[in-house]
Amino acid sequence: MATNPPSGDGHRNGAVRDRSQVYNPQTERWTKRGPDGRFMDQKADNKPFKGIRKEK
């Protein structure tokens, strides 16, 4: 993946590995899933998490 300078300034390029997010239609919120498959966190608003891939 190509990156723009400055490199090494502490920000992430690309998606977070081993994590995904899924939309819960009952609560109308996005929920983050960790590498072991368990749910980690839920957003307070109805916008998705940034930098985390979405499940189908």
- Residue 16 burial by Cβ neighbours in a 10 Å radius (0-12, 13-18, 19+): middle
Q: Are 36 and 52 in contact (CB under 8 A)?
A: no
pTM of the prediction? 0.76
User: Given strand 20-24, what is the order of strands in its sheet?
Assistant: 39-42, 29-33, 20-24, 53-54
Q: Are 32 and 39 in contact (CB under 8 A)?
A: yes
Answer whether residue 2 is part of any domain: no
pLDDT at residue 8, as a whole number? 80
Q: Based on the structure, what is the number of domains in the chain? A: 1
- Residue-wise pLDDT for 1-56, tens only, equals 676 777 788 888 888 999 999 999 999 999 999 999 999 999 999 999 999 999 98
* In a domain? residue 1: no
* pLDDT value of position 7: 79
Q: Report yes or no on 13 lying in a domain.
A: no
Give pLDDT, residue 1: 63
Q: Is residue 45 part of a domain?
A: yes
Tell me whether residue 44 is in a domain: yes
Structural domain boundaries, residue 40 = 20-54
pLDDT of residue 46: 95
Q: Domain for residue 42, yes or no?
A: yes
Residues 6+ apart with CB under 8 A from 9: none
pLDDT at 41: 96
